[in-house]
Chain A
Amino acid sequence: MQTLIAISALGVFCLLAEIFNLRKALVPVTIVGLLAILGITLNLWSIDSSIDEQYKSMIVFDKFSAGFSSLFIILTIFLIALSHDVYKDHQTKISDFITIKVFLLAGAVAMVSFSNLSMFFIGIEILSIALYILAASKRLDLKSNEAGMKYFLMGSFASGIILFGICLIYGATGYFDVAEIYALSQGAGLPIWFPIGITLMIIGMLFKIAAVPFHFWAPDVYEGSPAITTALMSTLAKVVAMATLYKLLSGLTVGLTYNFEIIIVIVSIASMTVGNIMALRQKNVKRMLAFSGISHAGFMLMALLSLTNAASTLLYYTSAYALAGMASFAVIIYVTKNKDNEDIINFNGLGKTNPLLAAVLTASLLSMAGIPIFSGFFAKFMLFTQTIKAEYLVVVIAGVINSIISVGYYFKLILAMYTKEATEEKQATPFVYYAVGVISIVLNIIIGLYPSLVTNLIN
């Protein structure tokens, strides 16, 4: 709980900083603050999964939420670090952007630590609204507007669905409190609209993680939004949504019914396949990564097939994915900083002009493709083993085939960097890009070599 409070406080501070003209110091201060909060959060392991008395039935801050919250905080730190350079042209607004990001983080934390559906709803709305703003934050750029609008319309539509779902659950059980609902859901005799409610909520979340067939917004929004926002969406937002979905299902129901697992299987396979296939022919990197994100969502959905014990695996997969994504976006933001588009051509010859960043990007792509020693590999492997245990071999096979396809487009980028001739000579690179890229990829490799670092956080 302290985490949530602290984050909100930090957000408020950022707003104040605007007033007191502390813009220069803002970014470092925020980072320090977040690091402190990270410390607090990690400290919570001494108290193992105890519901915080003070906010009874609103927030439960157990290992699951703590684990994911720390991941979110780390990601946010990276994002804020990047924003320093990204927004240096419009210093006036920097505090707004940072504030929004911090509040967004608050929403995210709320989402993984709710113990009451209202908390969940508020969390998800904070997150979404913040995202709408960030997506459209390039006021004069029509693309950005369009992205914002699309995201907004579909997002609020989804919110409507979720809200309806919550409502039906409330109607069926008479409670918003997760624990109560869980207790009731074990006993029979719930009216038919309880499962419908659950379904609607899940669908809403499936939309948030951009699973097929609710994925259409993702590529457009990713492409249109400013690069840093895209980074946020494809790493933080997706991870949050996934974690929340898992928490919802494991919190509200006693395992999925067989039929529902079938749906998950279908959606998962569909997401993997559609995502990868569509990504093959993309020229725009952000768009490509959007589709790759869709396919990864498909992978993550596998975790739902073994609800009882997949938490650590999910955390591992999400961190692996998010770190790799963060690393790659650090490079992408740098490369496309002064470009009007994010086409692959811009990466030509990066291997020569800027070997380090090229290496970082290569590594992150390899991680996403699931090549060993990068954590992406172990993440996939854990998912596979768990899914085989759950006796859904077919999903695993689909996953394997998809990872093969995915190599196809990840390597398009690598080829561009190492075999094409550079169009322009190397320009000065702010340190922060190296920092973010290298740190996140190193973290990625470290948890690749010692998965237990992450897997032990939960369970």
Chain B
Amino acid sequence: MNNILDIVGIENYIFLSVLLFCIGVFGVLYRRNAIIVFMSIEIMLNAVNLLFVAFSTYHQDAEGQVFVFFSMAVAAAEVAVGLAILVSIFRNLGSIDIANLKNLKG
């Protein structure tokens, strides 16, 4: 069977995932609710994952897709830790607004 990329073209995948990535970045930059920030980060990571898959098809080898599994696992672990921290913050602070975290400065 012939490669989907012959039809669509790898560039588009790249542009798409770059776009996604940037959306993630901006989300991280401009949202103050920790949960949403997490999600934005997830978007970034998934944008990359998407690209991985695209590339792996492009190169016709599986490594890329394997890597995606790695990264997903890692991301999950990360988020788990992140949420844990968030919980304790919520206990102490009663809010999950990252803008309130300004005790350490100077």
Q: Are A160 and B48 in contact (CB under 8 A)?
A: yes
Q: Are B88 and A145 in contact (CB under 8 A)?
A: yes
Q: Are B92 and A164 in contact (CB under 8 A)?
A: no
Q: Which of A157, A167, A223 has the most CB of B within 10 A?
A: A167
Residues of chain B within 8 A of A152, CB atoms compared: 78, 81-82, 85
Stretch touching chain B among A10-18, A48-56, A129-137, A264-272: A129-137
Among candidates A129, A168, A193, residue contacting B81 with C-beta atoms closer than 8 Å: A129
Among candidates B45, B85, B105, residue contacting A136 with C-beta atoms closer than 8 Å: B85
Tell me, in angstroms, the Cα distance from A140 to B56 when the chains sit together: 45
Across the interface, name the chain B residue whose C-beta is closest to A152: B82
Minimal beta-carbon separation of A332 from chain B (angstroms): 17
Residues of chain A within 8 A of B24, CB atoms compared: 160
B34 within 8 A of A: yes
A150 within 8 A of B: yes
Among candidates B10, B41, B52, B101, residue contacting A150 with C-beta atoms closer than 8 Å: B101
Tell me, in angstroms, the Cα distance from A168 to B48 when the chains sit together: 9
- B22-49 interface with A by 8 A CB criterion: 24-25, 28, 34, 37, 41, 44-45, 47-48
Q: Are A125 and B74 in contact (CB under 8 A)?
A: yes
A176 within 8 A of B: yes
Q: Are A171 and B58 in contact (CB under 8 A)?
A: yes
Q: A171-B14, A176-B67 are in contact. Are A146 and B78 (CB under 8 A)?
A: no
Across the interface, name the chain A residue whose C-beta is closest to B101: A146
- B57-106 interface with A by 8 A CB criterion: 58-59, 61, 63-64, 66-67, 70-71, 74, 77-78, 81-82, 84-86, 88-89, 92-93, 98, 101, 103-106
A224 within 8 A of B: yes
Interface residues on B, range: 35 or more
Q: Are B103 and A143 in contact (CB under 8 A)?
A: yes
Q: Are B45 and A163 in contact (CB under 8 A)?
A: yes
Q: Which of A170, A282, A287 has the most CB of B within 10 A?
A: A170
Minimal beta-carbon separation of A206 from chain B (angstroms): 17
Among candidates A142, A157, A174, residue contacting B28 with C-beta atoms closer than 8 Å: A157
Minimal beta-carbon separation of B71 from chain A (angstroms): 6
Across the interface, name the chain A residue whose C-beta is closest to B105: A220
Residues of chain A within 8 A of B54, CB atoms compared: 171
A71 within 8 A of B: no
Tell me, in angstroms, the Cα distance from A434 to B43 when the chains sit together: 49
Question: What string of 1s and 0s marks CB contacts (under 8 Å) between A146-186 and chain B?
Answer: 11111011001101100110111011001110000000000
Q: Are A150 and B48 in contact (CB under 8 A)?
A: no
Majority DSSP secondary structure for residues of A touching B: helix
Tell me, in angstroms, the Cα distance from A219 to B81 when the chains sit together: 21
Across the interface, name the chain B residue whose C-beta is closest to A128: B78
Q: Are A170 and B67 in contact (CB under 8 A)?
A: yes
Q: Which of B56, B104, B105 has the most CB of A within 10 A?
A: B104
Residues of chain B within 8 A of A163, CB atoms compared: 45, 48, 71
Q: Are B67 and A148 in contact (CB under 8 A)?
A: no
Residues of chain B within 8 A of A148, CB atoms compared: 85
Across the interface, name the chain B residue whose C-beta is closest to A159: B78
Q: Are A146 and B89 in contact (CB under 8 A)?
A: yes
Across the interface, name the chain B residue whose C-beta is closest to A130: B81
Tell me, in angstroms, the Cα distance from A224 to B85 when the chains sit together: 14
Q: Are A145 and B67 in contact (CB under 8 A)?
A: no
Tell me, in angstroms, the Cα distance from A147 to B14 when the chains sit together: 35
Residues of chain A within 8 A of B71, CB atoms compared: 121, 163
Q: Are B81 and A133 in contact (CB under 8 A)?
A: yes
Q: A148-B85, A156-B82, A176-B63 are in contact. Are A164 and B48 (CB under 8 A)?
A: yes
Q: Are A149 and B86 in contact (CB under 8 A)?
A: yes
Tell me, in angstroms, the Cα distance from A157 to B61 when the chains sit together: 28
Question: What string of 1s and 0s marks CB contacts (under 8 Å) between A272-310 and chain B?
Answer: 000000000010000100000000000000000000000
Residues of chain B within 8 A of A133, CB atoms compared: 81, 84
Q: Are B85 and A167 in contact (CB under 8 A)?
A: no
A-B contacts, 12 of them at CB < 8 A, read: A122-B70, A132-B78, A143-B104, A159-B45, A159-B74, A159-B78, A167-B51, A168-B51, A170-B55, A171-B14, A219-B104, A224-B103
Closest 6 CB pairs of A and B: A174-B59, A220-B104, A160-B44, A171-B55, A125-B74, A146-B101
A152-B81, A170-B64 are known contacts; what are 13 more A-B pairs with Cβ within 8 Å?
Answer: A118-B67, A122-B70, A125-B74, A140-B92, A146-B104, A152-B78, A156-B78, A159-B74, A159-B78, A163-B48, A164-B48, A167-B55, A170-B63
